[in-house]
Amino acid sequence: MNEAGLGYAAAFLVGLLGGVHCAGMCGGIVGALTLGLPEDRRSGWRGTVFQLAYSLGRIASYTLAGALVGMLGMLLAAWLPVAAAQQALLALAGLFMVALGLYLAGWWEGLARVERLGGHLWRRIEPLGRRFMPVRTPAQALVLGAVWGWLPCGLVYSVLIWAMSSGGALQGAGLMLAFGLGTLPNLVLMGLLAGWLTRFVRHTAVRRAAGALVVAFGVYTLWQAAGMTF
């Protein structure tokens, strides 16, 4: 697997292992959206279609945000000496990966402060979503999910910083797409698998192992940045 493929795989893993955070941040939203559906559309294949539509809209917003920050990172690299800009962005991504790992493991809650800062943006965006409620069609669910994708979340913000160092809009979009797909199992799958997965990711040992893996990836990224030569 090449370096880009490794990065996408790692982003997917971060989304999957960050499921305990997703359950806390978005589980209530998923429940509220489900209860807002007509009763005959809350379960079975119809309910799954609506849940997929919500999440596809959310992932589309993640992908767009990844493209924007990837482009921003590319512009920053154009304004500064290329090697220095790449090294700085890579080091910043590594630091955020370490912070994210500590956050996932429950060892440090500093990223919660970032979520509170993002709340100012959410207060401006959230009223847009009300225009599509109550949800009656998958198309409405898709648009509402796209609004939901901008919910302040330290997990998402950390991966966005990573996407900024990815090298361009396409790479940033791909990284956030992989991350978004990793969040799907915890927010969409129903029944026994969803219950088992939720119990699994909530286990303290699993959270700590996931956080340690992300910290290790962050340390590796910092090592890459330190090893860059001008």
Amino acid letter for position 179:
F
Q: Which residue, among 104, 129, 81, 100, has the nearest Cα to 202 in the 3D structure?
A: 104
The rounded mean pLDDT for the chain is: 76
Q: What is the pLDDT of residues 175-217, one digit of tens each?
A: 999 999 988 876 665 433 445 555 665 677 877 887 888 888 8
* Cα–Cα distance, 112 to 90 (Å, whole number): 23
pTM equals: 0.77
| Number of other CB atoms surrounding residue 90 within 10 Å | 22
* Cα–Cα distance, 147 to 55 (Å, whole number): 11
Q: What is the DSSP string of 16-42?
A: HHTHHHHHHHHHHHHHHHHHTS-GGGS
In this predicted structure, the answer to whether residue 26 has a pLDDT above a threshold of 70 is: no
Work out the average pLDDT over 134-151: 82
The confidence band for 140, taking pLDDT boundaries of 50, 70 and 90, is: confident
